Amino acid sequence: MTWTIDYTLSLAPDTPSMSAARKQGVVNKWLMLQRADNTLWGEIMGSGRRKYQTQIDLIGPAFKCSCPSRKSPCKHGLGLGLIFAQHEDRFQDSIMPEWVDSWISKRRGAEGVAIYDPPLLEEDTEAIKKKAEAKAKRLQKRLEKVTDGVSILQKRLEDLIRLGTKSIEDPYLFWDHVASRLVDAQAGGLARWVRELPGRSSTPIELLRDIGRLHLVCQAWIKRDRLSDDELADLKSVIGFNVSQEELSEQEGIQDEWLMLSSTTERELNLTVLKQWLWGMNSRQVVVLTSFAIFQQPHPLLLRVGERYVAEACLYPGTNSQRVILKDLMSVYSEMIPISEPPISEPPISEPPISEPPISEPLSINLKGSTSLNELRANHTAALAVNPWLTERGYLVHGFQICQAREQWWARSGLGELFLIDHHHFNPWKFLALSDGYPSTVFLIYYGDRLTALALVAQGNVYSLAH
């Protein structure tokens, strides 16, 4: 049988695996490509500092890889097969190493006859096809439900604009009723947004702004066929569509050394939402690791402020996305950190402990790539132009100073422009004590109309600015 590209891709367990395999099917990515006796094997650098050992038994065929993926074949196995289909001459004839020989011997038995080695996904082609069709039907049904829910929301917004916001006798009851209809329509993200309106929109201007943004969601959903993939991902995120973390982990991410800057914890009904913000030392970008836990339950991973971690960050789809999942996370000063379960030594708390290294032992952190307050608004406006539903974004800012005016705390740019500080998480007196009043480098979250500074970098150390 001739091994072809089409045949290799036909062995993929799903469509995302095909896309991921093409990225692995590049000769230069592999450290070693060898063959012997209808067997292929190779080594490729995975996330972090580990090499993955990948094997293919052409009699069968069968695949094996040391990567953590539960898919069979994984993207590395498929990638190895794609290289063989296109560049068979790049495989060197060699003697099987022990890790290949032991697997092949077990598969083929003592007489050299191939033994059936069932894949991890024990489904025949027809079963996989039926499963894909059922998934497509469920998705189509949900899309129809979301469309119905968006139509209901659109009508409520139009009635509200025609009759005026004063027509609402009980705002909480009004918006809660709309949110319930959206929950029935499987638009959970919109439902949370709508349910929070009475408490969040304290003035008519704020309420009108939210009504306008909700109207934009409705119009975008109706015309979603005109959106790019990233724009549609932003819209689906607002509505409440989830992204499969397993599929996300199959993608290539940003390999970097990440500095843990700060964290925030929010309450959403019976959930706690933990956001841990990190800075890429080489990529020079801010990312956020978001996790959810049932009220008073521990989060799966707690990072320490000021510590550096080596990991591959896979970005969620969207325009200028900052949310990530981390693969092969390792502390620079410790061994591999388990992500699947909480650390045994940590108490079950919702907020990570704060670690402030002593000034006498600086980390010599190089934070090139930070922005200034003068550039902050322009950068945020550019991000908002492509994602109008952006509510917050993290920035690393240098030259940060604060002042007090009109009984409020303000951040002052070099051009004298003032930014209102939301001091819910920010302790201005702690900042002044640490910075001694001088311009400093801080990590902050900008909301478009206000900001809050969460961490300060001084003398090579990271300090929390929370109360």
Residue 349 covered by a domain = no
Residues 9 and 118 in one domain: yes
Residue 344 covered by a domain = no
Residue 159 covered by a domain = yes
Closest CA to 174 of 201, 147, 148: 201
Residue 358 covered by a domain = no
Residue 347 covered by a domain = no
Residues 287 and 260 in one domain: yes
End-to-end CA distance of the chain: 68
Closest CA to 399 of 382, 381, 411: 411
Residues 18 and 88 in one domain: yes
Residue 321 covered by a domain = yes
Q: Which amino acid is at 23?
A: K
pLDDT tens per residue across span 283-323: 999 999 999 888 778 888 899 998 999 988 999 999 989 99
CATH number where 286 lies: 2.40.50
Q: Is residue 334 classed as helix, strand or coil in its secondary structure?
A: coil
pLDDT at 416: 83
Residue 263 CA, distance from chain mean position = 15
pLDDT tens per residue across span 384-422: 999 999 989 999 999 999 999 888 999 998 888 899 998
Residues 162 and 182 in one domain: yes
Q: Give the end of a domain, one of 122, 148, 180.
A: 122
Q: What backbone torsions phi and psi does residue 313 show, to the nearest 5 degrees?
A: -100, 120
Residue 210 CA, distance from chain mean position = 26
Residue 336 covered by a domain = no
Residues 380 and 285 in one domain: no
Q: How far apart are CA 328 and CA 52, in angstroms?
A: 12
Q: Give the end of a domain, one of 239, 274, 294.
A: 239
Residues 287 and 394 in one domain: no
Q: What is the pTM of this model?
A: 0.71
Residues 162 and 106 in one domain: no
Q: How far apart are CA 77 and CA 331, in angstroms?
A: 29
Phi-psi sector, 439: left (phi>0), alpha (psi -120 to 50), beta:
beta
Q: How far apart are CA 26 and CA 28, in angstroms?
A: 6
Closest CA to 305 of 456, 141, 149, 130: 456
User: What are the pLDDT tens digits along the chain (467 aa)?
Assistant: 578 888 888 888 887 788 888 889 999 889 999 999 889 999 998 765 678 899 999 887 899 998 878 788 899 999 999 999 999 989 999 889 999 988 888 877 644 545 444 444 444 566 767 777 888 899 899 999 999 999 999 999 999 999 888 888 888 999 999 999 999 999 999 999 999 888 877 788 888 989 999 999 999 999 999 999 999 999 999 999 988 887 788 777 888 999 999 999 888 777 889 999 999 989 999 999 999 888 778 888 899 998 999 988 999 999 989 999 998 788 775 444 444 333 333 333 344 444 443 333 333 444 666 788 888 888 999 999 999 999 899 999 999 999 998 889 999 988 888 999 987 778 999 999 998 888 999 999 999 889 999 999 877 689 999 87
Residues 375 and 414 in one domain: yes
Q: How far apart are CA 406 and CA 395, in angstroms?
A: 26
Q: Tally the domains of the chain.
A: 4
Rounded to the nearest 10 degrees, the angle between the axes of helix 125-163 and helix 204-222 is 140
HSE-CB of 155 using CA atoms within 13 angstroms: 9
Residue range(s) defining the domain that contains residue 307: 245-331
Residues 166 and 77 in one domain: no
Residue tagged 């894949």 (tokens): 119
The tokens of 52 are what?
A: 């993955």
Give 453's contacts (C-beta < 8 A, 6+ positions apart): 400, 411, 421, 426, 431, 442, 443, 444, 465
| Ranges of H-type helices in 250-366 | none
Residues 10 and 118 in one domain: yes
Residues 149 and 167 in one domain: yes
pLDDT at 350: 40
Q: Give the end of a domain, one of 91, 122, 153.
A: 122
Residue 357 covered by a domain = no
Residues 183 and 251 in one domain: no
pLDDT at 421: 94
